[in-house]
Amino acid sequence: MSNSKPVQIYKLENKKYKVNLKAINSILDKVGNRQVAIYSNNGPLRDGKSFMLGFFLRYLICKGEGDWVNYDLRSTFSFKGGCKRETVGIFMWSDPFILNRNGQEVALLLMDTQGVFDNQTTTKENAIVFALSTLLSSFIIYNLKEKISEDVLQFLQYFAGYAKLADNEQEDETFQKLLFLVRDWQKPDYEYGYYDDEHSINSKNFKEDFLNAHNDQPMEVKFVHNMILSTFKDVSVYLMPHPGPEVARNSNFDTNKIDPDFLIHLKKFVPLMLDSNGIVEKKIGGRSLTGNELKLYVERWSKILKNDELPNAVTFFEAAADLQHEMAKTAGVENYIRRMRDIVQDQYSSGVADDVFEDIHRYESKFSFPKFKF
């Protein structure tokens, strides 16, 4: 991990954005046939996305042990104070973190995206960046300051539509997890901490009160809320304090000058997100993907995005559906060939009669067909 660094996988080149397939493949090759989880940080410009990912890196490198908050990173996702954008495109950490989830290895990748609503990116470009980030991610952290406003929810609902893979027969929700990280929370009504359908603090539930749809809301507001909740299988919120003026002004801040309240919740939030038994792997069509399988999807998506145009949701859906069918067919055929070869070699090494071979073929065909259906 000593040479690990952020790698740009979606970049601005000759005034056009393009997917860097070589870079993505080099990372996913390290994942191989392990299941993969991709955690991304998204949100408006200059709201601390890369700053928070730096602490994710510290925790993972230290494996959650010792004083991980103060670990001296040699390389991290770039961030700085001020108004101008720092991250352009999408960056992914060059090396996966291999975690053990209930006895099974899962490769976790971290991803950083450029901030939306800057003064140099068009609505179309923002939509493509968010669509690609959403398609790749298994867990999206949407980083905000002070509140979750209705215009932010409308943005999410609108642009997530370009990434949503339409009517999925295997599960109602297309994507796995979305968490709103609300930084610099100042309202006393709700305390700092984690909220979802099962977690409240002092009998108050921010997620239920502000993200769930309610009967007294206008129809268009309820529509937006319901669309977001139906797009992601798991939606939650974490309210965080301000990190302190030293952090806000200086990217080379001393960790000892982080606000004490922020530090308390940083030490709660990061381990909660990175608990190995709760790692959210990337799924498409209800099926967990390996790094090698995700490479195939990225190749299809890159072809859709190569013209720097905003495709519709149907295009993404058709590309994913075609690839799922191809992968299912390959899995079924490979399973059939492997089992037929093993049976013939083990039990009929000196030869097999035609009628016996036909019987084996029919049985193994039936046995392999469920592989085609996943």
The tens place of each residue's pLDDT in the chain, 374 residues long, gives 668 899 999 876 666 668 889 999 999 999 999 999 999 998 876 556 788 999 999 999 999 999 999 988 877 775 444 444 445 678 999 999 999 988 889 999 999 987 555 556 666 677 777 778 888 899 999 999 899 988 888 877 766 665 554 334 344 446 889 999 999 999 989 999 999 999 999 999 999 999 999 989 888 888 888 888 888 889 999 999 998 877 766 556 677 788 899 999 999 999 999 998 889 999 887 788 999 989 988 887 777 766 555 555 444 445 555 655 565 666 667 677 777 787 777 777 777 777 777 777 777 677 666 554 54
- Same domain, yes or no: 280 and 177: yes
pLDDT confidence of residue 84: 46
In a domain, 317, yes or no: no
pLDDT confidence of residue 86: 46
pLDDT confidence of residue 81: 46
Residue with tokens 């952090």: 247
Query: Rg for the chain (alpha carbons), in Å?
Result: 23
- The verdict on pTM exceeding 0.85 is no
Number of domains in the chain: 2
CB-CB contact of 86 with 114 (8 Å): no
Q: Please tell me the distance from the alpha carbon of residue 174 to that of residue 177, in angstroms, as a whole number.
A: 10
Element (H, E) at 176: strand 175-183
Largest Cα separation within the chain, whole Å, is: 81
Q: Tell which residue, 111, 89, 94, has the closest CA to residue 40.
A: 111
pLDDT confidence of residue 161: 60
In a domain, 36, yes or no: yes
Q: Tell which residue, 33, 133, 43, has the closest CA to residue 90.
A: 133
pLDDT confidence of residue 246: 73
Alpha helices in the chain (DSSP H): 21-31, 49-61, 123-136, 150-163, 206-210, 219-231, 245-249, 260-273, 291-305, 313-347, 354-372
pLDDT confidence of residue 22: 92
CATH code for position 245: 3.40.50.300
The span from the first CA to the last CA of the chain, in angstroms, equals 35
Q: Please tell me the distance from the alpha carbon of residue 208 to that of residue 307, in angstroms, as a whole number.
A: 41
- Same domain, yes or no: 328 and 305: no
In a domain, 152, yes or no: yes
- Same domain, yes or no: 242 and 363: no
pLDDT confidence of residue 170: 41
CA dihedral 159, 50, 232, 139 (to 10 degrees): 140
Residue with tokens 């469920």: 370
CB-CB neighbours of 111 under 10 Å: 24
- Same domain, yes or no: 75 and 216: yes
Q: Please tell me the distance from the alpha carbon of residue 371 to that of residue 362, in angstroms, as a whole number.
A: 15
In a domain, 315, yes or no: no
pLDDT confidence of residue 228: 86
Q: Please tell me the distance from the alpha carbon of residue 128 to that of residue 114, in angstroms, as a whole number.
A: 11
- Same domain, yes or no: 305 and 335: no
Helices then strands (H, E): number in the chain?
Answer: 11, 12
- Residue 168, judged by CB atoms within 10 A of its CB (0-12, 13-18, 19+), counts as middle
- Residue 290, judged by CB atoms within 10 A of its CB (0-12, 13-18, 19+), counts as middle
Q: Please tell me the distance from the alpha carbon of residue 366 to that of residue 368, in angstroms, as a whole number.
A: 6
- Same domain, yes or no: 293 and 267: yes
Domain that holds residue 339: 324-372
- Same domain, yes or no: 32 and 78: yes
pLDDT confidence of residue 168: 42
